Amino acid sequence: MKIAVFSAQPYDQLFLDEVNRRGYASCDHELSYLKAQLSVDTAVLAQGFDAVCVFVNDQLDAPVLASLSRYGVRAVLLRCAGFNQLDVKAAARLKLFVARVPAYSPEAVAEHTIALIMTLNRHTHRAYNRVREGNFALDGLLGFTLHGKTVGIVGTGRIGMATARILKGFGCRVLGYDPVPAAGFEALGEAVDLDVLLADSDIVSLHCPLLDTTRHLIDARTLAKMKRGAMLVNTSRGALVDTAAVIAALKTRYLGALAIDVYEQESSLFFQDRSGDIIDDDVFQRLLSFPNVLVTGHQGFFTVEAMREIAEVTFHNLQCFVDGSPCANVVHGEP
């Protein structure tokens, strides 16, 4: 099989080549690594390939899928869990095989969520810079003790549960909201409705998928329901949060702090070195100007273990397609 790997970074090549070299199921596939993000303008690059392998910010809407199909592509391999960027109906209409990596390492994202909370709360990022410059003053570095605080988990799926497990270890009171409550969550915390979670939590952490119903789940109305001074954490998908509303709440000091690993307009920024560029996104730049905002560039998943799992499962999905065997990771329905 000839596979065009879009949005390819050196680390993608490292882990995918490692599995391919081993010869997954005795097959040796031909992988071409393309820096370009998949879009209606770049779909032409897939001409002559049997499959494309894509990541979170590659576009898979109806026009892109139609182009891929026209160019002879028969399989779309997502090397991620979320598939909010995919037009599922269009893919089915075009009879494209689409499979994802549903759970490469929930703990990786959960641990990054905790890293964000701890960094933002105890200001270790600022302390690091201060100490290197010989500044040992503590003013501005005051945090709170996490033990005993209430943390609300919105979406108690794989990552939400992993986050809840860690927080329980910290001695936090954990609240969870999920329209489909997870079995076993009651051992970690209390299942409540969203309004109660927002009102009671010192930290609200988002772990639900991006759907039409969850787009801007956090907006001016829901921010007003949160505790004054609470921290909001989003490691799920950027569009769960209305960034303009969050900026307004930060400016009035109602929202105490914000940590994000994802951003609604991230596709033109994240996963690239833009350090020499003028960034045109004024909303993003405003976010960076707050001392109580911490942003990472969608790295929650980025551990050796998760990258290995992504590569393994991607080749497993490809093999299912080649063999025509049942594949549990085929995408249908909502993300």
Stretch that binds ligand NAD, among 126-134, 179-187, 241-249, 274-282 (CB under 6 A): 179-187
Q: Check residue 159 for interaction with ligand NAD (CB under 6 A).
A: yes
Among 99, 300, 310, 331, binds ligand NAD (CB under 6 A): 300
Closest approach of ligand NAD to the CB of residue 166, in Å: 14
Does the annotation count 237 as an active-site position?
Answer: yes
Q: Check residue 298 for interaction with ligand NAD (CB under 6 A).
A: yes
Site for ligand NAD in 54-93 (CB under 6 A): 81-82
Among 301, 313, 316, 331, binds ligand NAD (CB under 6 A): 301
Does the annotation count 298 as an active-site position?
Answer: yes
| Contact call for residues 66 and 37 (beta carbons, < 8 A) | no
Structure tokens at 156: 């108690």
Q: Given the complex with ligand NAD, which of 4 and 217 has the nearer CB atom?
A: 217
Helix (H) or strand (E) holding 149: none
Q: Given the complex with ligand NAD, which of 178 and 242 has the nearer CB atom?
A: 178
Return the beta strands (E) in the chain as ranges.
Answer: 2-5, 30-33, 51-54, 75-78, 97-99, 150-154, 173-177, 190-191, 203-206, 231-234, 257-260, 293-295
Closest approach of ligand NAD to the CB of residue 90, in Å: 20
Q: Given the complex with ligand NAD, which of 160 and 256 has the nearer CB atom?
A: 160
Phi, then psi, of 13 in degrees rounded to 5? -60, -45
Stretch that binds ligand NAD, among 10-18, 39-47, 251-259, 294-302 (CB under 6 A): 294-302
Q: Which residue is nearest to ligand NAD (CB)?
A: 157
Site for ligand NAD in 202-241 (CB under 6 A): 207-210, 213-214, 235-237
Which residues contact residue 71 at a Cβ distance below 8 angstroms, ignoring those fewer than 6 apart?
A: 43, 44, 46, 47, 48, 49
Task: Report d(CA 309, CA 233) in Å as an integer.
Answer: 25
Q: How far is CA 87 from CA 184, 202, 290, 335, in A?
A: 33, 37, 36, 11
Q: Check residue 157 for interaction with ligand NAD (CB under 6 A).
A: yes
Task: Report d(CA 3, CA 71) in Å as an integer.
Answer: 13
Among 52, 73, 117, 154, binds ligand NAD (CB under 6 A): 154
Task: Report d(CA 154, CA 180) in Å as an integer.
Answer: 11
HSE of 22, CA atoms in CB hemisphere, 13 A = 12
| Category of 125 on φ-ψ map: left (φ > 0), alpha (ψ -120 to 50) or beta | alpha
Selecting among 29, 100, 264, 266, the annotated active-site residue is 266
Q: Check residue 297 for interaction with ligand NAD (CB under 6 A).
A: no
Return the beta strands (E) in 250-328 as ranges.
Answer: 257-260, 293-295
Residues that bind ligand NAD (CB under 6 A): 81-82, 103, 106, 109, 154-160, 177-180, 182, 207-210, 213-214, 235-237, 261-262, 298, 300-301
Active site amino acids = 237, 266, 298
